[in-house]
Structure 1
Amino acid sequence: MNYQSDVTAERADGFSTVVDGDARDDARSRIWRIAIGAMVLLLLAAIGVFAYQKFFGAATPAGDDEGQNPVVTVISPDAETVQGQISATGSIAARRELPVGVVGEGGRVVAVPVDAGEWVSQGQVLAVIDRSVQTQQAQSAQAQVRVAEADAELAQANLDRSLQLVDRGFVSAADVDRLTATRDAAAARVQVAKAQAAELRARNARLNIVAPAAGLVLERNVEPGQTASPASGPLFRIARGGEMELMAQVSEAEMASLSPGVAATVTPVGSAKSFTGQVWQISPTIDPQSRQGMARIALSYAPELRPGGFANATINSGTVVAPMLPESAILSDGDGSFVYVVSEDSKAERRPVKTGLVTSNGIVVTEGLDGSEQVVLRAGGFLTEGEAIVARAQEEG
Structure 2
Amino acid sequence: MKKHFIYIRIPLATVILLLCACGQQKDEDPSSGETTVMTQEKKTAPRNNVKEAMFTAQQFDALQLKLDTLSERSLTGFVEANGQLEVPPQNEANVTAMIGANIASIAVIEGDQVKKNQVLAYVSHPNLIEKQTTYLNAYTKSEFLKSEFARQKKLYDAGVGSGMNYQNAKSEYMAANGMVQGLEAQLKQYNINPTGVRNGTIYQRIALRSPIEGFVEKVNIKTGQYVEPQTNLIEIVNTHHVHADLMVFERDVHKVSKGQEVRFKVQSLPGVELSAKIYSISKTFEEGPKAVHVHAEIENKEDKLIPGMYIQGRIEVGVSKTLALPESAVSKDGDRYYVFTAEREGIDWSFKPKEVLLGQRDGEWVGVQFLEPIAQETLFVQNNAYYLMAEMKKGDAAHSH
Q: Structure 1 length as normaliser, TM-score?
A: 0.63
What is the aligned partner in structure 2 of residue 167 from structure 1? none
Cα distance in 2 for partners of 1:247, 1:362 equals 27
- Residues 170-189 of structure 1 aligned to structure 2 (within 5 Å): 179-189=162-172
* Secondary structure at 1:307 match in 2: coil
1:194 to 2:177 alignment: yes
Please tell me whether the aligned partners of residues 250 and 292 of structure 2 are also in contact (alpha carbons under 8 angstroms): yes
Letter in 1 for 2:234: F
**Higher mean Cα deviation, 96-105 or 41-50?**
41-50
Please tell me whether the aligned partners of residues 215 and 237 of structure 2 are also in contact (alpha carbons under 8 angstroms): yes
Q: Give 5+ residue unaligned stretches, structure 2.
A: 55-66, 192-207, 340-353, 383-401
Please tell me whether the aligned partners of residues 117 and 217 of structure 1 are also in contact (alpha carbons under 8 angstroms): yes
Which has the larger Rg?
A: 1
Report 1 or 2 for greater relative contact order, CA contacts < 8 Å, sequence distance ≥ 6.
Answer: 2
| Identity of matched residues, % | 15
What is the aligned partner in structure 2 of residue 104 from structure 1? 98
Cα distance in 1 for partners of 2:273, 2:330 equals 34
- Residues 70-81 of structure 1 aligned to structure 2 (within 5 Å): 78=72, 80-81=73-74
Give CA deviations for 1:287-335 in whole Å, capped at 9, x if unaligned: 443344433333476441123333333443332344435666899999x
Bigger fraction of residues in helix = 2
What is the aligned partner in structure 2 of residue 305 from structure 1? 305
1:122 to 2:116 alignment: yes
Please tell me whether the aligned partners of residues 76 and 362 of structure 2 are also in contact (alpha carbons under 8 angstroms): no
Please tell me whether the aligned partners of residues 357 and 364 of structure 1 are also in contact (alpha carbons under 8 angstroms): no
- Which residue of 379, 383, 397 corresponds with 1:394? 379
Change (3 A) 1:225 1:242: farther
Please tell me whether the aligned partners of residues 112 and 126 of structure 1 are also in contact (alpha carbons under 8 angstroms): yes
- Residues 35-50 of structure 1 aligned to structure 2 (within 5 Å): 35-36=24-25, 48-50=41-43
What is the aligned partner in structure 2 of residue 361 from structure 1? 365
Alpha-carbon offset, residue 223 of structure 1 = 3.3
Give CA deviations for 1:24-58 in whole Å, capped at 9, x if unaligned: 9877645423433676999866654554569499x
Cα distance in 2 for partners of 1:111, 1:16 equals 119
1:235 to 2:233 alignment: yes
Letter in 1 for 2:76: Q
Alpha-carbon offset, residue 201 of structure 1 = 1.7
Change (3 A) 1:190 1:103: farther
Please tell me whether the aligned partners of residues 106 and 129 of structure 1 are also in contact (alpha carbons under 8 angstroms): no
Give the superposed CA RMSD: 4.7
* Secondary structure at 1:149 match in 2: helix
* Secondary structure at 2:255 match in 1: coil
Change (3 A) 1:292 1:217: same
Cα distance in 1 for partners of 2:143, 2:170 equals 12
Change (3 A) 1:266 1:238: farther
What is the aligned partner in structure 1 of residue 22 from structure 2? 33
Alpha-carbon offset, residue 210 of structure 1 = 3.5
- Which residue of 68, 90, 93 corresponds with 2:83? 90
Please tell me whether the aligned partners of residues 104 and 203 of structure 1 are also in contact (alpha carbons under 8 angstroms): no
Change (3 A) 1:301 1:212: farther
- Residues 377-388 of structure 1 aligned to structure 2 (within 5 Å): none
Give CA deviations for 1:72-125 in whole Å, capped at 9, x if unaligned: x996654x4222344543333333353424363332333443333233333444
Letter in 2 for 1:33: C
Please tell me whether the aligned partners of residues 74 and 375 of structure 1 are also in contact (alpha carbons under 8 angstroms): no
1:206 to 2:189 alignment: yes
Cα distance in 1 for partners of 2:338, 2:20 equals 52
Cα distance in 2 for partners of 1:320, 1:219 equals 48
Q: Structure 2 length as normaliser, TM-score?
A: 0.62
* Secondary structure at 1:100 match in 2: strand
Cα distance in 2 for partners of 1:121, 1:396 equals 59
Cα distance in 1 for partners of 2:214, 2:234 equals 12
